Structure 1
Amino acid sequence: MDVRFLGGAREVGRSAILVDDSLLLDYGVKPGTPPRYPVGDVDPDAVVVSHGHLDHAGAVPALVAGDRRPPVHWTPPTRDLTRLLAKDTLKLQGASRGPGTGNARGGRYDCPFTRAEVARLGEVSEPHGYGEPFDAAGYEVTLFDAGHIPGSAHVLVDDGDTRLLYTADFNTEDQRLLSGTTARPDADVVITESTYADVAREDRASIEDRFATAVRETVRGGGTAVVPAFAIGRTQELAMVCHAHDVDCYVDGMGVAVTERFRRTSEFLRDPDAFLRACGHARFLDASTRDGQRRRIADEPTAIVTTAGMLSGGPAMTYVPAVAGNPQHLVALTGYQVAGTPGRELLETGSAELGGRHRRVAARVREFDFSAHADRDGLLGFLEDYRGSRVLVDHGDRCADFAAELRADGFDASAPERGERVAL
């Protein structure tokens, strides 16, 4: 067996790993203007998608362009989320305004797929539950709960000689939405993510308490708490946190549609009943909501959970400017802010490009780490069960450093570079 790293190696984004030029694990996008895609041409016999985030699934529709029809294996939530993300990508790029044939790309840059490819995913979709082995391109493949977002999976690939475990993104700590992963399948080789390899995170209960206290104090003082959040996983987690701490909240943006998908596949959640109670507690805004209504909501003493999590678009572009001028209000950032995004700029400078204008933000800005990735302790604890296995480190900003730390601790570890082929 050999693997080629087409993306996600020594970087976060565009994850794509090709096994024996036949089985493709993930096919993601690295967001930006323009976005970046995995390197090289690829025509796999089958595809396995670990979970429905852009950096792992954002380019999957391109794999069924032309006469190509590789089966795409995933869990039901990942299937639903990948199609939702693809439609949103086309909408953001203006492609949905093309002719009724669905073949217009439009937008500021070329998208590698059209509406036709998104629709075609339904023809090749092969959904699976956790722990159910299936055949893909001649390999026995099994998905295990990765605890990252609903439907996220570790991918175990077995060719009869070598057992390869691709962790994809994972979390070992319980969230309200999901339980942390406990899966530790036997493997000869482990490809592990390393996003938070240098971060020791405080316990989840403490993060929740600090967040809930800050929001409650803001609302009781007559202010508004704007809570930018990623649409997939984070929005739903925060709705559950608000419900658990008796904080009234609105939910706006793409997270509304994602929440509806999770209702349909609630068996993949930690506590479906608690999730539904939280949905009943929150006030969800629909796609017909206008900015004038959003500005009126921003005048209320309430919490507003809204996309985009890094302030790069979405309804947050209405809410944050609406509260920006008053220190009575709060902007509670709930996820990692990538360098170059308005969210990172706001954290570092107190101002950012928001809604087409550079603004100074007088509202209080606080950061709460609700990440759904394993931190350093979680990564090391997971890998401890694989001391006798070969470890390949990817999906991180310091993959080589983390691999060196693992080697110093007795692991057979390395960090492949993008485009590199590794014999196993």
Structure 2
Amino acid sequence: MRLEFLGGAGEVGRSAVLVNDSLLLDYGVLTGNPPQYPVGSVDPDAIVVSHAHLDHAGAVPALLSGDARPPIHWTPPTAELARLLARDTLKLHGGTYDCPFTETDLQRVTQVSEHHGYGDPFEAAGHEVTFYDAGHIPGSAHVLVDDGETRLLYTGDFHTDDQRLVSGTTARPDADVVVCESTYSDVEHEDRDVLERQFVESVETTLWEGGTVVVPAFAIGRTQEMLLVCEAYDIPCYVDGMGKRVTELLRAYPEFVRDPDALQRAKSHARYVTGRNGQRKRITDQRAAIVTTSGMLSGGPAMTYVPEISANPTNKIALTGYQVEGTPGRELLETGSAEFDGRVTPVSAQVESYDFSAHADRDGLYEFLESYRDAEIAVVHGDRCEAFASKLRERGYEATAPAVGDIYDT
């Protein structure tokens, strides 16, 4: 089996792996200014998408800009969520370098989409492919690829612990080669119950003091997770941005969430923001949590809320996930200020970071890979891939950390 790493190797973003010059696994974007896309020119016979986040699916429509019409294989929620994000990208950046596809390309995605559930093998570019629940976000999948000689497990992003929205992965299909994500390979996540209590106590303290808490969150997965937490602890909250539409969409796929009834309660508990008639500025005076995109402060309604509350030290910004280097969220964490609408804004409001991660941590990665001691391991999707590969080698694994552009023959 021949593997070509077109992106996502030694970095978090633009994931893309070409298998046997014909089957493409993911085709994402590396968020930044400017954004980066997978390297090289690729013309696959079929595309398989592990899940809908931009770093794995954000550039998929661009693959349909030429004459070829390769089928795109994904789970039903992944297909719908990826199209939703692509539509938003087109709306915000269409016709610029920040958007590598056109409206026509996006329309073609629907024409070539093929949907599959977990555990049901299907054929793609001459390979047998099977999806397994990855426990990352609704619809996320481990991808098992069998070319008749080698079995490849592409983990995609995964979590081994339960979240409120989805259960952790329990799938461990047999594989000869594992391409494994490593986002949190040197981090030990705090116990989720402890983390939730810390978050809730912090938010409740701010609200009691008369402040407002802005909770930047990724539209897919994290927004719903935070709404579930707010409902469980009866925290008054608003929800804004694309996360509103994603929450509605996920209600149509109850089999892909852990507790559909809890998600419905969380939706009913939150107050939806329309954004009309100056509503957002009025909300910043409310004693409530505002769950809003974007999770890294790189766009969305957060660009209104954060500057609006930034001058008051009673207020709080509670970041809930990974902040990629070069994003305003990362800048805010490191410097106490960030650029909004072209201006650097000092932030007097409190800034806190909570690791509501949807990824396996170091122990979760080791636990998962314990089932693959006899397999070749390629470590990707992380800032410290080589360091983690070295740790695996010390434990007796055959592990490497490819670079973008590398080709492996296994």
Short-chain TM bin: over 0.9
Matched residue, 1:317? 303
Matched residue, 1:384? 370
| Structure 1 residues not aligned, in runs of 5+ | 96-104
Matched residue, 1:401? 387
Q: Tell me, what secondary structure is at the counterpart of 1:264?
A: coil
For the pair 1:37 / 2:25, whether they are aligned, the reply is: no
- Contact map agreement 2:195 2:354 (CA 8 A) in 1: yes
Matched residue, 1:22? 22
Counterpart AA for 2:174: D
Aligned-partner Cα distance in 1 for 2:228–2:331? 28
- Contact map agreement 2:32 2:327 (CA 8 A) in 1: no
Aligned-partner Cα distance in 2 for 1:259–1:110? 26
For the pair 1:265 / 2:265, whether they are aligned, the reply is: no
Counterpart AA for 1:296: R
How far does residue 354 in structure 1 lie from its aligned partner after superposition? 2.5
Matched residue, 2:346? 360
Q: Give the length in aligned residue pairs.
A: 410
Question: Once the two structures are superposed, what CA deviation does each residue of 1:161-188 show, in whole Å capped at 9, x if it has no partner?
Answer: 2111000100011100000100000111
Q: Mapping of 1:246-261 within 5 angstroms?
A: 246-261=234-249
The change in CA–CA distance for 1:177 and 1:279 in structure 2 (over 3 A counts) is same
Aligned-partner Cα distance in 2 for 1:148–1:395? 14
Q: Mapping of 1:72-221 within 5 angstroms?
A: 72-93=72-93, 95=94, 105=95, 107=96, 109=97, 111-221=99-209
- Contact map agreement 1:76 1:128 (CA 8 A) in 2: yes
Specify which of 282, 288, 293 is matched with residue 302 of structure 1.
288
Matched residue, 1:374? 360
- Contact map agreement 2:35 2:98 (CA 8 A) in 1: no
* Runs ≥4 residues deviating over 6 A: none
Matched residue, 1:343? 329
Aligned-partner Cα distance in 1 for 2:277–2:182? 39
Counterpart AA for 1:62: A
Matched residue, 1:58? 58
Q: Tell me, what secondary structure is at the counterpart of 1:149?
A: coil
Matched residue, 1:412? 398
The change in CA–CA distance for 1:216 and 1:166 in structure 2 (over 3 A counts) is same
Q: Tell me, what secondary structure is at the counterpart of 1:147?
A: coil
Counterpart AA for 1:126: E
Aligned-partner Cα distance in 1 for 2:135–2:397? 24
How far does residue 110 in structure 1 lie from its aligned partner after superposition? 6.1
Counterpart AA for 1:162: T
How far does residue 291 in structure 1 lie from its aligned partner after superposition? 7.0
- Contact map agreement 1:176 1:237 (CA 8 A) in 2: yes
Question: Once the two structures are superposed, what CA deviation does each residue of 1:213-251 show, in whole Å capped at 9, x if it has no partner?
Answer: 111111122111111111111001000000011101000
Counterpart AA for 2:51: H
Matched residue, 1:71? 71
- Contact map agreement 2:273 2:279 (CA 8 A) in 1: no
Aligned-partner Cα distance in 1 for 2:165–2:98? 36
TM-score (norm 2): 0.98
Q: Tell me, what secondary structure is at the counterpart of 2:129?
A: strand
Aligned-partner Cα distance in 2 for 1:59–1:315? 23
Q: C-alpha root-mean-square deviation of aligned residues, in Å?
A: 1.1
- Contact map agreement 1:321 1:355 (CA 8 A) in 2: no
Aligned-partner Cα distance in 2 for 1:420–1:323? 46
Aligned-partner Cα distance in 2 for 1:257–1:46? 29
Aligned-partner Cα distance in 2 for 1:365–1:315? 18
Counterpart AA for 2:81: L
How far does residue 195 in structure 1 lie from its aligned partner after superposition? 0.6
How far does residue 312 in structure 1 lie from its aligned partner after superposition? 1.3
Aligned-partner Cα distance in 1 for 2:106–2:182? 30
- Contact map agreement 1:194 1:395 (CA 8 A) in 2: yes
Greater Cα offset, 290-299 or 192-201: 290-299
How far does residue 194 in structure 1 lie from its aligned partner after superposition? 0.6
TM-score (norm 1): 0.95
Aligned-partner Cα distance in 2 for 1:33–1:326? 29
Q: Tell me, what secondary structure is at the counterpart of 2:169?
A: coil
Counterpart AA for 2:368: F
For the pair 1:48 / 2:48, whether they are aligned, the reply is: yes
Aligned-partner Cα distance in 2 for 1:67–1:130? 31
The change in CA–CA distance for 1:349 and 1:110 in structure 2 (over 3 A counts) is closer
Matched residue, 1:98? none
